[in-house]
Structure 1
């Protein structure tokens, strides 16, 4: 699916995490926490005590997944060794490098675990307005689910996409068009960009939001996954040197390798110093469910979504939220496919719409389509040396909330008004 430095003194800009509704920006980049895991998992109302307990359990479950990583991957490597030793002796003798390669993978697993351990170190205090206490014996590691381990492996690959030189081509294909349009729509030579408020929902490890803030715009990232939040806190707050740390993101891929060394090749991060933002930067991160966190109307000049809208249970909720939070005249810039995350997941609401249907709803809300490209190729956490690659044929669009809205908040087309009449200046 679309899915890890050492602490420095706060002489540069840091990124702190805290809990809504109190967003506080100071010399640190503040990250606010604002969602209930109970609501996120089930959308069922529960008492504040139950809500807090479920939230705490989920927090510690994710921390445990980070700690369980070494055990989990070593089990996979050990299985490969057992299967090798089941081969006839004359076959084993033909594969003289097989066991040495497995030992290289084991070494890489241990190096990855060191980084993951650093990520969860001090996670108890990463949110400035939320504490989770202790969870029994901190040395005890419990088995994690396959689902959680897959999420963690995806998070490791996210470091390649967001914070390595190896991910530059991928970032250029999907982040760069968004950034260029923000600069075109809010040109630095014609407006005070520090007063232009940009929201990046589904910000992952924060690179897109960081790049926008680095250009001087007031930018806030939003993310709900603890896997991503722990990791973004680490890279934004604990990294102050370029390429100081190393991960081995491809060691979990035992198939489609052209060379054995491809599986164990290292990736250094971060490719830039995340703390190199200008001193007057207005950059923040908010943890929580996008729909629940952002309810204040007409607060944002721009909402930038990248590989995000298909993470919704019901994408119409996202459209409605974006309409509500944009200022009149504000713009929504989107880039991504429609790989619905909850499709085929038992007991999860999932409404899978075509782009045609989504576009029709967007126009019915009253948005004006200013630019549209229906076939923009892009990858996501791609292993560029793999024999199997996925290429997304993405949609890129810019839509604007009219400065003068329809009467009484009714955004549906009036009699005789077609959806096409709401669409202007689109280009494919």
Structure 2
């Protein structure tokens, strides 16, 4: 889809809506793309701001994801215990206390001159209204967060440049399903695929039943997995623009208009 040469990717603009803590957007920026993450949740934004801008270095942040006692600061390391009360399906205390150390230094303060990476806070539908703004939109566990998933698809299509790509991975766990007072449109994947094609996308690659987990203890005796969908779709090139380009090239080759 895009140049393999990392140095040639700087002009390719990628958007990651529903970026959460920003890891996917950061990884794309590390691979040379100009990338922007978008997030609506204040909780996610607070956490991502801390991780992206305040971490002091590799291994400075100790996260204990299987415990839930709050947080304590010890020896300049921040220890987070989010799941101490998760006793069910736990093999050992050690599993609850396993610490996860960041494997890389991703503080923006140390790489701001080498990465083209930004985060934007706000509602995806309200912020991104300019047509043909991005070469690619990458959505991961995102599109089922909408009250109206069709509006998400229309916005994604609108902001992608003609010939650009939409890459999606995730299930359809509609967040507003059965919530009182919340409108919710919950089409099947086949309907979503038909809507995307009707809007103007071409499905280039598609894989269903992709096993994906989500924030769980890998050592737990109980594991949850989604059978996600992974696809790559391309926004159709504007035929009128193509014809105008071809006519211009023909005119130049012919030495002028006749």
TM-score (norm 1): 0.50
Residue matched to 2:41: 225
| 8 Å contact from structure 1 (residues 214, 278) kept in 2 | no
| Alignment: residue pair count | 222
Name which of 112, 124, 132 aligns with 1:290. 124
Alignment of 1:111-122 (within 5 A): none
1:382-417, CA deviations, whole angstroms, 9 ceiling, x for partnerless residues?
21111111111110101111112589xxxxxxxxxx
Residue matched to 1:150: none
Per the alignment, do residues 405 and 250 of structure 1 end up closer, same or farther by CA in structure 2, a change over 3 Å counting?
farther
- Pair 1:329 & 2:163 matched: yes
What CA distance in whole angstroms lies between the structure 1 residues aligned with 2:178 and 2:87? 26
1:378 positional shift? 1.0
1:243 positional shift? 1.5
| 8 Å contact from structure 2 (residues 7, 32) kept in 1 | no
Residue matched to 1:83: none
Alignment of 1:46-57 (within 5 A): none
What CA distance in whole angstroms lies between the structure 1 residues aligned with 2:4 and 2:56? 28
After the TM superposition, list the runs of 4 or more consecutive aligned residues in structure 1 that deviate by more than 6 angstroms: none
| 8 Å contact from structure 2 (residues 210, 230) kept in 1 | yes
Structure with bigger RCO (C-alpha 8 Å, 6+ apart): 1
1:177-217, CA deviations, whole angstroms, 9 ceiling, x for partnerless residues?
xxxxxxxx111449831100000001011111001111111
- Pair 1:387 & 2:221 matched: yes
Residue matched to 2:31: 215
Residue matched to 2:196: 362
Per the alignment, do residues 367 and 278 of structure 1 end up closer, same or farther by CA in structure 2, a change over 3 Å counting?
same
Residue matched to 2:89: 256
Per the alignment, do residues 215 and 277 of structure 1 end up closer, same or farther by CA in structure 2, a change over 3 Å counting?
farther
What CA distance in whole angstroms lies between the structure 2 residues aligned with 1:291 and 1:352? 18
| 8 Å contact from structure 1 (residues 367, 399) kept in 2 | yes
What CA distance in whole angstroms lies between the structure 1 residues aligned with 2:115 and 2:216? 31
Per the alignment, do residues 259 and 191 of structure 1 end up closer, same or farther by CA in structure 2, a change over 3 Å counting?
closer
Unmatched runs of 5 consecutive residues or more in structure 1: 1-184, 408-428
| 8 Å contact from structure 1 (residues 328, 405) kept in 2 | no
Per the alignment, do residues 257 and 230 of structure 1 end up closer, same or farther by CA in structure 2, a change over 3 Å counting?
same
1:200-252, CA deviations, whole angstroms, 9 ceiling, x for partnerless residues?
00101111100111111100000000111000000000114111121222122
Alignment of 1:113-152 (within 5 A): none
Q: Larger helix proportion, structure 1 or 2?
A: 1
- Pair 1:272 & 2:104 matched: yes
Q: Note the aligned Cα RMSD (angstroms).
A: 1.8
Unmatched runs of 5 consecutive residues or more in structure 2: 68-82, 242-258
TM-score (norm 2): 0.82
